[in-house]
Chain A
Amino acid sequence: LAKTTQPISMDSYEGQEVNITCSHNNIATNDYITWYQQFPSQGPRFIIQGYKTKVTNEVASLFIPADRKSSTLSLPRVSLSDTAVYYCLVGVYGGATNKLIFGTGTLLAVQP
């Protein structure tokens, strides 16, 4: 499984756009990129998943360059409630081995 590297922490202010980048140099052809969010004392929550180019949903966008060796989670106009740990995961979706492997994640702190 491809290893991921993310910044340990990031700071932002309310209303700003936040971009969290994840490196996954050894990503395999069949691997998808998935992001989860986790609040203290809760289980992780799925945010978004993509394979290439750009994916957008109601909460975030995911940008994946052509070489797929990195990806960027974009959170538009963050609020205090977006303070959480964000995890980038890389793995095969639907395959025989599709366990989710979490790294240490990025702690995003949003200030007023």
Chain B
Amino acid sequence: DTGVSQNPRHKITKRGQNVTFRCDPISEHNRLYWYRQTLGQGPEFLTYFQNEAQLEKSRLLSDRFSAERPKGSFSTLEIQRTEQGDSAMYLCASSWTAEAFFGQGTRLTVV
């Protein structure tokens, strides 16, 4: 296992389009997190899964954002009707114990 994998690594989209990102966690990890990070800021919590259950979702996440983790394995984060303010790095992390392992992120640019 090579760690947390995120795809795509980069995505450029036009404003108003929908985008979907995928995260493949480390296989035995039951917890999965999504974060968003903009330049000069720390990662901002978006949502958290334990197995397939989405236990928490940030109020910062508008109705345009949705995340799923079917069967408690990989996860997808979808952004509908993208806006320029959605441009950021989207990070996924997984954990089994106290240590969370992060992927390299998907950089989204909305033009």
Which residues in B have some Cβ–Cβ distance to A below 8 Å? 4, 31, 33, 35, 40-45, 48, 55-56, 89, 91, 93, 98-105
Contact = CB atoms under 8 A, between A and B. Distances in A.
Interface of A: 32, 34, 41-46, 49, 85, 87, 93-94, 96-105
A62 to B, nearest CB: 13
Classify the secondary structure of B's interface with A.
strand
Interface core residue of B35, B40, B43, B44 (most chain A CB under 10 Å): B43
13 contacts: A32-B98, A41-B104, A42-B105, A44-B91, A44-B100, A46-B98, A46-B99, A46-B100, A49-B98, A100-B45, A101-B45, A102-B35, A102-B43
A94 B99 CA distance: 11
Contacts, number: 56
A97 B56 contact: yes
A42 B42 contact: no
Given A43-B105, A97-B56, A104 B100 contact: no
A34 B41 CA distance: 18
B33 to A, nearest CB: 7
B93 A100 contact: yes
